[in-house]
Chain A
Amino acid sequence: DAGVIQSPRHEVTEMGQEVTLRCKPISGHDYLFWYRQTMMRGLELLIYFNNNVPIDDSGMPEDRFSAKMPNASFSTLKIQPSEPRDSAVYFCASSHGGNSNQPQHFGDGTRLSIL
């Protein structure tokens, strides 16, 4: 079975530009999570969805960040406008069932560099 697929793997862009990160969760998984990983702050949960509905976006740092899940097989995380401090690795993860007893399956991330 294919795992969680993220694209692009790497993105380099100038500050002020719009950035869109994409994620395809594992088929049949009903929870989708977006994380950000940096050396300073470690792995932080930004937002998660259940059955395509955003449940908790308390980790989204600013209004410049937005996430959507138009269907069960696709989600996007958008940053507009981007800033150098947004540089990080962004991970998408999915799970079957939402209670915290379920393992999360991670994609290989998008390494984002904002110049």
Chain B
Amino acid sequence: SQQGEEDPQALSIQEGENATMNCSYKTSINNLQWYRQNSGRGLVHLILIRSNEREKHSGRLRVTLDTSKKSSSLLITASRAADTASYFCATPILTGGGNKLTFGTGTQLKVEL
């Protein structure tokens, strides 16, 4: 079963606007990762935030993590048509060696010109 759930399931915005996606998870984590998947392609790692971090930036991406609420958000600023993709959060399964990730259900982002 999936640990993470993204919200909203789908998001449509105009180019230049900001896009915010949320992820909720169920169990304790030591980090949380965000991935992007373009149509017909594999997932691409975007950013990792550790459990002792509250916010992290990478270019136009801003990720926050609230471990007390078991939630994370991904903000894409000044969106572009090329940002159109599905976005997934991924959290580790810390039992049994801790080498596995479980992926959320994804948010489909569409950025229109």
Question: Which residues of A does B touch, CB under 8 Å?
Answer: 4, 31, 42-43, 45, 48, 50, 55-56, 91, 93, 98-101, 103-109
Q: Is B42 a contact of A4 with CB atoms below 8 Å?
A: yes
Task: Decide if the interface of chain A is mainly helix, strand, loop or mixed.
Answer: strand
CB < 8 Å neighbour of A56 from B88, B92, B96, B104: B96
- Indicate which residue in B30, B40, B88 contacts A100 across the interface (CB closer than 8 Å): B30
Q: Are A91 and B42 in contact (CB under 8 A)?
A: yes
Count how many chain B residues have C-beta atoms less than 8 Å from C-beta atoms of the other chain. Answer: 27
1/0 contact string of B40-76 vs chain A (CB within 8 Å):
1111110010100000000000000000000000000
- Residue ID in chain B nearest A45 by CB atoms: B100
Q: Which B residues lie within 8 Å of A43 (CB)?
A: 43, 88, 103
Q: How far is the CA of A48 from the CA of B94 in the complex (A)?
A: 15
* Chain A residues within 8 Å of B97, by CB: 55-56, 98
Interface residue? B2 (CB, 8 A): yes
With contacts A43-B88, A56-B96, A108-B42 taken as known, whether A100 is within 8 angstroms of B101 at the C-beta atoms is yes
Q: How near does chain A come to B1, taking the closest CB pair, in angstroms?
A: 9
Within 93-112 of B, Cβ neighbours of A (below 8 Å) are at: 93-94, 96-106
Q: How far is the CA of A104 from the CA of B43 in the complex (A)?
A: 9
A50–B98 CA distance with the chains assembled, in angstroms: 13
Q: For A103, give the chain B residue with the smallest CB separation.
A: B45
